Structure 1
Amino acid sequence: MQPNREYILELVRKNDWSGGELGRRMGISRAEANRLLNGTRVGGKKIIAGLMKAFPDEPIERLFILPQVEPKGSSEVR
């Protein structure tokens, strides 16, 4: 699961937050928040938890790019 950077950038602009403000709301450093916004930091437990903390009302499907999972086994119906 990786952050949906474009959507997060949109939320940050909409709320008129700086990287420092995003970091404060996520519980991470300003530098780490700026790395997230610049695309050089893409994930980890701290980032996932921080984004959910900063944007509690946003659906997880919008905040993150979820991996596509193929079902195991045959697709035949018996």
Structure 2
Amino acid sequence: MELNVEYFREVLIKKDITNREFARRAGICHSSVTKILNKNMKAGIKTCKAIRGALKDEPVSKLFM
């Protein structure tokens, strides 16, 4: 399972959530969110679970590939 970074970015824009605010909600480091969005880092399993937990209303089939 891999995070769909483009969809993740679209969700943050649609919901008007900053990287820092999302990181706080998900309980992860804001620099990790930035690195993931810039494709400088892949989200590991723990980070994917945190992202999923913070975006429960988003379809798993779109959020992950």
TM-score above 0.5: yes
- Give the length in aligned residue pairs: 65
How far apart in 2 are the matches of 1:43 and 1:29?
Answer: 12
**What displacement does 1:28 show?**
0.4
More helix by share: 2
Aligned equivalent of 1:28: 28
The normalised TM-score by structure 2 is: 0.89
Distance 1:38 1:25 in 2: 20
Structure with greater proportional strand content:
1
Alignment RMSD, CA only?
1.0
Match of 1:2 in 2: 2
Question: How does the TM-score come out when normalised to structure 1?
Answer: 0.76
SS at 1:2 equivalent: coil
Offset of 1:43 from its aligned partner?
2.2
CA–CA distance in 1 between the matches of 2:52 and 2:38? Answer: 19
**Larger RCO (CA under 8 A, 6+ residues apart):** 2
Aligned to 2:43: 43
Q: Distance in 2 between matches of 1:19 and 1:59?
A: 20
Shift of 1:30: 0.8
Work out whether residues 25 and 53 of structure 1, in 8 Å CA contact, stay in contact via their aligned partners in 2: no
For 1:47 and 1:34, how far apart are their aligned partners in 2? 13
Q: 1:73 maps to which residue?
A: none
Shift of 1:36: 1.2
